[in-house]
Structure formats: C-alpha cells, structure tokens
Structure 1
Amino acid sequence: MQNFEDVIKEDCYYVDKTPFIEQIEESNKYFFFIRPRRFGKTLTLSMLENYYDINKKDKFEEIFGKLYIGQNPTPEHNTYLIIHLNFAEVAAGLDDYKDGLDNHCSLVFNFFCDIYAHLLPAGIKEGLEKLTDAVSQLRFLCQKCQEVGKKIYLFIDEYDNFTNMILAHEEHLMRYRNQTHGEGYLRQFFNTIKGAAGNTLGRVFVTGVSPVTMDDLTSGFNIGTNYSLSPDFNEMTGFTEEEVRKMLDYYGSVLPFNHTTDELIKVMKPWYDNYCFAEERYGETTMYNSVMVLNFVDNYIRSEYQIPKKMVETNIRID
C-alpha cells in the first residue's frame, strides 16, 4: 500500500518515520534522495504530501494525531499546494519520451488546477490548456501561484525511471546525452524548476534509484542537495532491525506465530538486511528492505505461520 492516508485510516501497521520531517525542514529546501527500488520511497512521499497539503489541513489530527509529528507539528504543515510527478508513468521510448513527459505533466497540472481551484486565479485551467508542453505549463502555474501568494511543494518520484530505461540500450547513449546536456528538453524542465525556486516552488523533493541522471543535469538542478548518503537520513526509508523486531513482536502477540522473533530474524536477515547508505553508520545500523520484510510477514501469515519457501517475490527479483 503506497497511499499514506489509506494506511492510517485502515489502521495498518506503520513504522513511524514522521520524525524525519523535522530534519527535512532543517535541510536544503531542494532535497534529492535515492534508494533502491521497493524501499519505501513512494510511501515516504505520500506521507510528506499528506503533511504539507493545504487541502488536508482539516484532516491533520485524523491522519497524524497518533504519530510523532502529529504531537510535534512544524509551522509548515498544511501550507503548500502539492504537485506530484511520477516519472515511472512517463512513456519511456527514446523517440517519444518528450511527448510522454508532456502528457504526464499535463494530466497532473490539470488535476492541480481542479483541486486547488478555490485558491488559484480564475481562468487558470483555460490558460494552462492553451500551452502544449510541460516546461511552459510549469512556468505558467508557478507564475499564477506567485500572483496569489501561494507556494508549491513539488514532488518528483522515480525521476530517473525513463532515462534509465533509455540508457539500457547502448545505441541510445548519445541521444540521452543530447537531452540531458546543453538545451535538451529534460534539462530545460529542471532549469524551469531552478528558476521558480525561492519564489513559487517553496520546496522540492526528488527521488530515484540512481544519481546518474541528476549528475548529468547538474546545472539544471544545482540548487539541490543530495542527502542519499547522509547519516541523518540513513534510516528514513527501509527498516532498522529494531523496527523489524518490534513489528514481529506485535504480530506475534496478536497472532498464533509458530516462531519466536529471534527465529524469524535469523531467517530474514541474510535475505533482507545489510543495506547501509551512510559511511558513518557502517558497522552500527544496517537497513532491511521494507517491502521484502512486509512480503515475508504477509506470506508467513498466509502460509499458516510456516516459513515461506519463496523468500523473494518475483516482481522484486526482477528489479
């Protein structure tokens, strides 16, 4: 489940990562963060969206009341208009990736105009629809939000998804370079973000699995800071062993587990542990892949509390 509000409303087990919100706010407002696939990035973005969305101000207590940040809110909670772009949904073909990016952004930007219509200038959607490309539309939205004194929090999930797919084919390397350097379209898009930073784009949070594309776009987003290897954020996604143990202890107390927490940890550790992203944490804190842990627990319960024969799901193995 990747929708944070649903996780809370359906009373799912949630490892509270909201203390990191305070640390994010104390960091660069233009935040770059990479992690392996299936490591909780999308749920983290959903958590942040729910926290900062001005439209969810009346739901703050309902969503966050039982969590750390609900009892220790920051002044910025529920003060932003949210734009969430997911580049995993962009058509990845080399020849039509611009069209794919334009189409994805157009859908998101139109939705933005609909849900924040009560806060935006009249006629903004009609003005947006006169523009045909993502770069022009983003500039337009930023300008209109500035006119009414509203700040945008821009989230970009899987920012490198379609460029990584392009890079998988050797014959595409030169054309990839043309798009991420000089006057390339992707570079223009990030230059637009850079231009709006500080005025309308109050904060930007970018996630992906590799720094390669961002390195190639350096001047297009050189206002951002890469916190992927920061010890302060080593545990922001994924689970520590303490968090896994606490989860297993909880489920073992309400369900007829056939194994102790120690026995289950012994089985899981070789498969799901040993991620460490900050050199300063090496030898101290290693991280478990959160999706793999949750799949194991789910399969264990469904298998009538027997150790699953398949330790890695097919879709994760492919990744």
Structure 2
Amino acid sequence: MQKLPVGRQNFATLRKNNYLYVDKTKYVHKMIESGDINFLSRPRRFGKSLLLSTLKELFEGNKKLFEGLYIYDKWEWEDNYPVITIDLAGGTYNNLNVLETKLKDIIHRIARDFQVNIYSESLEEKFTDLISEISKKTNKSVVVLIDEYDKPIISNLQNKNLEEIQSKLGSFYEVLKTNDQYIKFIFLTGVSKFTKVSVFSKLNNVDDLTLIDEFNSMCGYTQEELEDNFSDYIKNLSNKFKTSNSEIIAKIKTFYNGYSWNGREKVYNPYSTLLCFKHGEFSKNWFNTGTPNVLADYPLNRYNLKAIAEPNMVTDSELKNPTTSNMKDEILLFQTGYLTINNIETKEDEKFYDLRIPNYEVKSALFENLVSQYSKIPLYDMLEYARKLLKYTIEANCTKIKETLGDYLSPIPTDLRGKDEKYYHTLIFMLLYTAKLHVHSEVHSYKGNADLIIEENDYVIIIEFKQSNKSSINYMINKALKQIETQEYGRQYKNKKIIKGAIVFKESEIGCKIIKECNDL
C-alpha cells in the first residue's frame, strides 16, 4: 500500500516517496486556464498548502512528478517560470514590527535562493525589488503563490493594533498590482476573505473561487476519490471492526464528510480522514489541530447559540463580503470550518445560504467546547451531569432533574440562553450529545417534530421543552405533554418503554413532569 501523507504538504515529497496522492490536477488545470489571479478560501488542514506546492512544481516544469496525473498530457512542459512562494501559516503576528520583520525575512530568503539583490529599505519596495529582479534575471514573468494570506488578520481580530496590521498587509499586497508587468500568475489561499482589507481592496480583479461550483472539490476528498484511492485502508478498517466495507464507509462519512461550498457536492476533511486510516480509529483530530486560535477568544466566549439552535440563513453579501469590524459569528464559523453550506436558495435575484454543522466530528467537538466554554464545567463533570440527568429521568425524579439542570445551567450567562425554548433545548442536547448518549434532536414524525428523543436500552425518552416569562409553569408543562400526545411522537416506538417528559423554564425557575408509560415487551 502507498504511504498515507499525514502532515505532508510538499508535492515533490509525495510523488518521489510513494505517498498516496489524490489527483487534483484537473481543478488546477481548469483554474489556470480560466484566469491569472485567483483566490481560494478553505478551513485549515484542508490541503491548501499541498495545492500551492503542486502549482509550484507545475510552473517550474517538473514534468516527471506529474506522470500518470490528469494534467500530464495537457501542460506545455517546455514553458517554465520562476516561482515566489510566501507562506504566512507559521509564526505569530501580534504587532506591526513582528509582521514587517517576518515578511522581510521571507523576502531576503527568497532573494538568496534566486541569487538576486534587494536594494530598498521599506517592506513594499523590498517586495518590488524581489519580483522585478527575479524577472529580469530569468528573463521570465514570475509566479506568486501566497499561502494563508490572512493569517496576520485572523490572529488579531481582537487586537487593538488590527487596523495598522491590516493597512501594512494591504500595502504589501498592493505591490502585486503595481508590478503586474513582471507577473505571470497569482494564487492566494486563506481561511477568510475581508473585502476592505488587503489584497481584495487593492487587486480588484482577483477571481474568488471559494463558492464557484466547479471548484467545490478542489480541496478535500469526494466520495468517489475516497473509495477509489483508499480501498485498502477501508478494507483494513472493516477487518478491524469486523464489519462490511459499506458500513465502514458509512461511518467515515458520518464522522468526516459533509463539507460543501456549493450546497450539493460534499467532501471529506482530508486531515481527519487520513488520521482515521492511519490509526484505525474514529476520533476528533481536526478540532485540536485545525482550529485557528482566534476561536478560543473571539466567537465562542460570546457566541449566542443561534448558529447551533436554528438553521442559519445568510445572504450572498454577508458570506462573500465580510469585514473585520462587522462580521456575523456564523460567517467566521463558516470560514473556519465549523459550519458549511447545506443548501443555496435564490429569492428575487438574491442568494441565501443555509449553514449547518458538517459532520459528527465537528458537532461533537464543537458542542464539547461550547459547553465547557459557557459553563466552565470540566468534561468529567459534564459526563456526570448527563449520566445523572438520564438516571433521574428514567426514575421520574423531577426534584433531582431540576437540581441537576440548575447546577448545569447556572454558570451560563442569561443573555446567552436566548428568549425561547430552542436555546435551552440546544444546551441540554449539547450536554447529552457530548456524553455520547443515543440522543436525537428535532425528530420528525408524521405530525410534527419532537424536541428531544433519547434511546437507552429498552427505554425511549421523549422530552418537550417550553419557555415563557408570562405563562405559568403548570400551563407550560400541560401544553408540552399535550403536544407529545397529540403529535404522537412515540407512535413509532410501540415495542419500547416510553417515558414522556416536559421540561419548562420561566426566568430562573425550572419546571418538570415525567410520565412513564411502560408497555409490555
């Protein structure tokens, strides 16, 4: 079997050392044919750096590396170009001096590689020297590849120095426009696109491929690519878990598939999928390695749960033209991979994007993080709360249920809980989901949707939530239980022991009633 390219982002290394490479050169060829200045946004750990490395080897004319790939017989190999690669993924950029020093170091290193001189002192002029001197020395136009162009911005969304960092980065990227005569091709990647910052305000002809239908699968693995390229590893997993290939594929899909930028085609997270094959286990790897640090400080500490509690519709303008000073939480979560495009609707010439959590890996890790962020409760204690809540519900012990919920919810700021039952519903669902209980939210029946259904051994627990600052606790309890009855949420579970419950909230008061209807098995 070919080696798995876990952590490998260099195209030449993969091709020379028998690493498995999923051929993406069809998209590369189409991109180059369609335009000279392109941008692609994808979450971290999604293969952007490997894509840049592929472009570098292609423009440098390293033909042998592309044998057997789509682009091999479609490229003019006699033409090759000098390539300037600027990688901003590493390092911190917490002030202007650090940013300038980093960029100058990159420029001088590239200059040494090409054996050209840098004569100027300012950052922008040094970059100009680099481009023009390499072009003059080689007598060819240069290719400029910039990886994680936005890292200095994303790292400083909460920094008081953000504006000056944005300004400096914008001036740096503007060099690309003023030296157009020396440049053959430009490609930039990043997590985000900020319209009033950097390259997009300076280069008004950048083609943003992020949401273009034909480039949806440029990064990540399609279903076909997964099954064609990783068949031996799929077989290994099925042998380990003593199940069929189709069942293993279904589980991989549940954990790591679901990302989409056109609302139709879904792709797998490549990093998490590779680690699953390498270690032979299903785990939450991407959350720990693919999450920009800004999320620990920026949205999750103040996040209002709306993106989790409700379907999220954002407009075309909100998704494509965010600014650092006015960006919805949902947009940042989309750009960083926590939400993806589930569906696209067009109404009166305006596009609306339905954003959802892509898969189990992201959902479980996100819920675990959100619960711990809000409640400050350690994971072990969260699991204990979930265990108690399940136990007391089966026992129909409402006093203990209210006590457990009170302990769990009390650290969470009131303004984060929202003003209707959806937010309490979501907080409790996240707790139970994090504990890996067999819990379902918004379960469809032929008459309506049940808020929460828990399956535990012979029991099926159906919970309906209500919240109001006007109605009485008893009124809401009766309304919730009547809804379970009239909507027949338990009809499909006739061979189970049914437990019906109402959990209601009025300001700081919690109400509860549990009815056990144990059918004979």
Which TM class, normalised by the smaller chain length? 0.7 to 0.9
Cα distance in 1, alignment partners of residues 203 and 288 from structure 2: 32
Residues 256/268 of structure 1: CA separation in 2 closer, same or farther (3 Å cut): closer
| Structure with the larger helix share | 1
Residue from 257, 276, 298 that aligns with 1:296 = 276
Residues 76/206 of structure 1: CA separation in 2 closer, same or farther (3 Å cut): farther
Name the counterpart of 2:68. Answer: 66
**Percent of aligned pairs with the same residue?**
24
Cα distance in 2, alignment partners of residues 293 and 77 from structure 1: 37
TM-score (norm 2): 0.50
Aligned with 1:89: secondary structure? Answer: coil
- Mapping 1:220-259, distance limit 5 Å: 220-252=202-234, 257-258=239-240, 259=243
Name the counterpart of 1:134. Answer: 123
**1:152 and 2:142 matched:** yes
Name the counterpart of 2:267. Answer: 287
Query: Following TM superposition, by how much is the alpha carbon of 1:73 offset from its aligned partner in structure 2, in angstroms?
Result: 2.7
**1:44 and 2:33 matched:** no
Contact 1:152 1:203 in 2 (8 A): yes
Q: Which has the larger Rg?
A: 2
Residues 47/145 of structure 1: CA separation in 2 closer, same or farther (3 Å cut): same
Deviations 1:16-71 (A, max 9, x none): 11111221122220111100111110011111111111xxx4x412x11121111x
Moved over 3 A (4+): 145-148, 250-260
Residues 29/262 of structure 1: CA separation in 2 closer, same or farther (3 Å cut): same
Name the counterpart of 1:118. Answer: none
Residue from 143, 168, 173 that aligns with 1:185 = 168
Residue from 239, 250, 254 that aligns with 1:266 = 250
Aligned with 2:219: secondary structure? Answer: coil
Aligned with 1:166: secondary structure? Answer: coil
| Structure with the larger strand share | 2
User: Structure 1: which 5+ residue stretches go unaligned?
Assistant: 115-123, 301-307
Query: Following TM superposition, by how much is the alpha carbon of 1:152 offset from its aligned partner in structure 2, in angstroms?
Result: 0.7
Residue from 29, 34, 41 that aligns with 1:34 = 41
The number of equivalent residue pairs is 280
Name the counterpart of 1:105. Answer: 107
Name the counterpart of 1:121. Answer: none
Aligned with 1:105: secondary structure? Answer: helix
User: Structure 2: which 5+ residue stretches go unaligned?
Assistant: 1-7, 293-521
Deviations 1:167-204 (A, max 9, x none): 1x2x52xx322443xxx32121111111112x111100
Cα distance in 2, alignment partners of residues 86 and 312 from structure 1: 23
Residues 190/95 of structure 1: CA separation in 2 closer, same or farther (3 Å cut): closer
Aligned with 2:146: secondary structure? Answer: strand
Residues 93/179 of structure 1: CA separation in 2 closer, same or farther (3 Å cut): closer
Name the counterpart of 2:185. Answer: 203
- The letter of the residue matching 2:190 is G
Residues 265/20 of structure 1: CA separation in 2 closer, same or farther (3 Å cut): same
The alignment yields a C-alpha RMSD, in angstroms, of 2.3
Cα distance in 1, alignment partners of residues 43 and 287 from structure 2: 16
Residues 237/132 of structure 1: CA separation in 2 closer, same or farther (3 Å cut): same
Query: Following TM superposition, by how much is the alpha carbon of 1:309 offset from its aligned partner in structure 2, in angstroms?
Result: 5.3
**1:11 and 2:18 matched:** yes
Contact 1:83 1:152 in 2 (8 A): yes
- The letter of the residue matching 1:296 is C
Deviations 1:229-265 (A, max 9, x none): 0011101110011111223324356898444331222
TM-score (norm 1): 0.80
Contact 2:143 2:183 in 1 (8 A): yes
- The letter of the residue matching 2:171 is Q
Aligned with 2:110: secondary structure? Answer: helix
- The letter of the residue matching 1:163 is I
